[in-house]
Amino acid sequence: MAKRGLYQRLRSNAQVRSALFCLGGLLMIVAVLIGPLPGPGFIILFPVGLMLVLQNSAWAKRRYVRFKRRHPRYGAWTDRVMRRVSAARRRARVALEALDAD
């Protein structure tokens, strides 16, 4: 049986998951506050915070899925910024289907 990594073992603890969720929310708030300042602060902090929130909250995942259904263009953009594996698979599948159609 493969050993679970330290991160997976820590995330199984409810207090750690809550702390990671709060940290993600805090990073998103800080990203919005420093957004007007020059530099890439918002582009770095917001996706990291969003990833932490989505990984540690079922409620946030449901809200994110609802957002992606209502606004597919923005959902694709956020997936690309967060470098989600599922988004990369989806883009590859669409590109393959476009090649097959030609």
Q: What's residue 31's pLDDT? A: 92
The DSSP secondary-structure symbol of 39 reads: S
Residues of the chain under the 70 pLDDT cut: 1-3, 80-84, 102
Q: What's residue 24's pLDDT? A: 92
Q: How does pLDDT run across 4-32, given as a tens digit for each residue? A: 777 777 777 888 888 989 999 999 999 99
